[in-house]
Amino acid sequence: GPRVGVLALQGDVREHVDVLEHLGARVTRVRRPEDLAAVDGLVLPGGESTVIDKLSRTFGLREPIVAAIRDGMPVLGTCAGLIMMADRLADGIDGQQTFGGLDVTVRRNAFGSQRESFETELIVPALGEPPVAATFIRAPLVEEVGSARALAFLPGGSIVAVEQDGLLGLSFHPEMNGEDRFHRRFLDRVRV
């Protein structure tokens, strides 16, 4: 199978590793630049984007990841991972940086404290049937898409999944619901 990495600085690393291994991928937990050099695609897990940002700089991973995305490496990001892929943040805290790559504006914690987490079924035309069981946890929303394409919306019209070339960003956590179709789509990009 393809060699892929899961950025393993903070967040729900194990859940992504399990889905990918189940699909036959060889998975490396990426903690150092050498780990990144050995993979052909990268998953950015959910967690806390400010922490992932800081740790990526501490571990010398920020610049190699930015360069790999610029060079076309396929990336799947969920929740905090989507935040890390955004070119623009509507409300990043002071000094917060993203890796960028997705031509979108993302708002962190977009649902406020009244609705910190919820589950819903999403119709995702790009995946077909059945609908996606999606878990949202302090989730971000995509407020503006430039050249990226919206793949899924909440009933009110908010964008919760986007794609741009080999980059796939999700507001929610398919890895927590046994949903593997986004990971399959990511692995298909890695194999090309």
Binding-site residue set = 47-49, 108, 137-138
Q: Looking at this protein, which amino acid is placed at residue 179?
A: E
d(C-alpha 122, C-alpha 117), whole Å? 15
Residue with tokens 């989507």: 82
Kindly give the pairing relationship between strand 3-7 and strand 26-30. Answer: parallel
Catalytic option among 15, 163, 175, 179: 175
Residue 74 and residue 102 in contact, taking contact as beta carbons nearer than 8 Å: no
Closer residue to ligand GLN, CB minimum distance, 139 or 167: 139
Closer residue to ligand GLN, CB minimum distance, 64 or 92: 92
State yes or no: is 183 an active-site residue: no
Instruction: Give residues in contact with ligand GLN (CB under 6 A).
Output: 46-49, 79-80, 83, 108-109, 137-138
Q: How far is the CB of 151 from ligand GLN (least distance, A)?
A: 18
d(C-alpha 178, C-alpha 2), whole Å? 20
H or E stretch at 11: none
Q: Which of 138, 133, 188, 141 is nearest to 161 (CA)?
A: 141
State yes or no: is 121 an active-site residue: no
Q: How far is the CB of 30 from ligand GLN (least distance, A)?
A: 17
Q: How far is the CB of 128 from ligand GLN (least distance, A)?
A: 26
Closer residue to ligand GLN, CB minimum distance, 26 or 177: 177
State yes or no: is 21 an active-site residue: no
The catalytic residues are: 79, 173, 175
